Each structure stands twice: as structure tokens, then as C-alpha cells.
Amino acid sequence: MTRKTSVVVVDDSALVRSLLTEIINRQRDMVCVGAASDPLVAREMIRELNPDVITLDVEMPRMDGLEFLSRLMRLRPMPVLMVSTLTEQGAEVTLRALELGAVDFVAKPRIGVTTGLNELASDIVEKIRIAASARVGRHKSGSTSGASSTPPDAPAISAPLPRLSTEKVICIGASTGGTEAIREVLTPMPADSPAIVITQHMPPGFTTSFAARLNSLCRIRVAEARHGDRLLPGHAYLAPGGHHLRIDRSGSNYVAVVEDTEPVNRHRPSVEVLFRSAARVLGPNALGVMLTGMGGDGAQAMREMKDAGSYNLVQDEASCVVFGMPRMAIQCGAAHEVLPLTQIAPALLERLSSTTTAVRHRI
């Protein structure tokens, strides 16, 4: 028999523990081996049961979930799926959990918990499966109070950056593990970088906080895309949760189109929608970036971008949390370069600088 994925549920609500246990045990490929009411009980269960995945609530007695997660990822890294309340504060805490090393999250309802969690059952078990196969690394010690409001230390630059080509538009797609990967790509980008358009698989209620967190860390301005926004250099535009984001042209300008049409590849927002519009509208003015994520959303459209003249960078397996979307992009022949996450921003800057130099030489 195939070995089942073992899960420990950590939540202070007896009802939630019972519901999650039932949802997990209904699956043929997983089993809930323990349910803990707080992190201290969970710590002993983890030592004894050695689960493949844990689901973790945030607000709990004796030790909150973020403090427990921080200690766990420093001392015994393992896949963690956060089960977070869908509130503005819950979104902030969830993003901090992803920063600390959680693989993904599920937004549980504030009311109607029984009905809500049962409606989310397929999403929960799919994310547990993804978490079980995720690449989880050891995280450094750090405060759990929130992210710094100032940009992180950037790599030392011995000379001013050359003028970048601002005619280009950078298009980024990501899913599981993408919040931290996107941060890694955006924080080195200078204030005069080309417009950046991003689709990260994320539900409504979380992208506002995600954009604000990125904006506090970056030299460029980061915000949720609004329908009709002109795509400007020095700005990044994030697809709002529950809405597709694509690019269109208005006269001589590129603009953002935000719409709530049907899901594509089961996702809304979908990377496929963004990348296909980039192939059609931007052509050789596009730079494509595919980051960590499960599945194949956007891979075929990234090949369409390449065929239309885009230059595409894909994250390598070793640095991905989940090597699904990048693997599919590579298999589709969409990648010009496959790089570790830390090399993607430098490669973008080098490509943009060389494009500007080539244009200047032609003139």
C-alpha cells in the first residue's frame, strides 16, 4: 500500500480540530495522526509522531502560532499549512507566517465554521498534498511582530546602475511559495525599473495586505492593479484576489485590465490570462518570469510570449518551494534561462541594461 501523508492539526477550537480531522481522514492518501489544542501540546506530538505536515492556527493559548512557527522553522523545519481567519489583521499575520516559512494558507470563515470548512475541504486537502511535497528550508531567527518598514539591505553596487529600458514590461507569475519569491525579485529593483505586472494565486482579502507589505520593502511603488491603470515605470501592479489581470493597449500606453471572468486553469487570478495578454499586446517588449508554484498555470502562455519575442526567466528547482509551474514552463520550451531565485533580479537588470545599450548604439 502507498504510504499515507500524516498530518497533525493544531487549533485551539475543538470544533475546528474535529472538522479538519474528519476532512483529512476522508482522504485515501492522508491521515490525521494527532490534534493539538495549543503549540506546547503540538510540540510533543510532533516529536512523538513525526508528521509529514501540520496545519496551524494563529491565535492560541500559551504560545501564538507565529512564535511557534518561528521556533519550528529554526529548529525542525517541516511543511506547515496555516489556517487563518479571513480578516485584515488575519491577512497581515498570514503574510508574516509565509515569510517565516509556512508553505501556504487556508482562509477559514469567521462565522458558519462548519459549513465554511466543509466547503473548503477540497482546497484544504489539495494544499496539504502540495505542502507534503514542498521544499522547506531552515529559517533564521527573527521578530514575529511584523516586517520592517524600510527596504532590506541590497547587494553592494560599486557603480551607478546604467539607465534601464523602460519600454519593457516585466510579467511575473507565481503560486505556492510565491509571496517570498516575488519579494526576492522586487526588492533589488531600482526606482526607475520598467513597469512590473504580477499574478500570484491568492484569494480575495489578502492581496491588499500583500501589496502593502511589498510596497513597504521596495524602491518601486507596489499596489493592487486597478482597472484602467496606466502601466508606469517604477511601479508594480498586483492582480487583486479573485480577479484576472491582463494587459491591453490604449493609444500609445499599456494599461491594466481587471476583470472577474471565469477561472482559467481553476485559478482566478490566472497566470495564463496575464501571460497570454503579454504575448498578444507586448510581444518583444515583454520580459517573462515564472516563479515557484504547483501545477501548470501560465506555462503554455509563456511559450506564446517567447514565440512573440519575449525574453523569459524561470526559477530553478533547487530554489523553488514547489517546482510545478516552472517545470511545465521549461517542458513547454518557454524558458531562455533557468536560474536560482537570487539570480533572477540581477538577470533582469542585466537584460534591461543591455537592451538600453543596444538601442543607444543603434541610434
Which strand (E) or helix (H) includes residue 171? Answer: strand 169-174
Q: Using DSSP bridges, classify how beta strands 5-10 and 53-56 pair: parallel, antiparallel or unpaired.
A: parallel
CB proximity list for 203: less than 8 A, separation 6 or greater: 107, 241, 242
Alpha-carbon distance of 72 to 92, in angstroms, equals: 20
Alpha-carbon gap, residue 54 to 61, rounded angstroms: 18
Q: Which of 11, 104, 229, 297 does the annotation list as catalytic?
A: 297
Question: Which residue type, as a one-letter code, is found at position 177?
Answer: G
**Which residue in 175, 209, 270, 319 is the catalytic one?**
175
**What are the residues whose beta carbons fall under 8 Å from the beta carbon of 317, sequence distance 6 or more?**
323, 326, 327
Has 38 been annotated as catalytic? Answer: no
Q: Of residues 11, 38, 165, 201, which has the active-site annotation? A: 201
297 labelled catalytic: yes
CB atoms within 10 A of CB 89: 12
193 is catalytic: no
Whole-angstrom distance, CA of residue 320 vs CA of residue 177? 7
Catalytic positions are 175, 201, 297
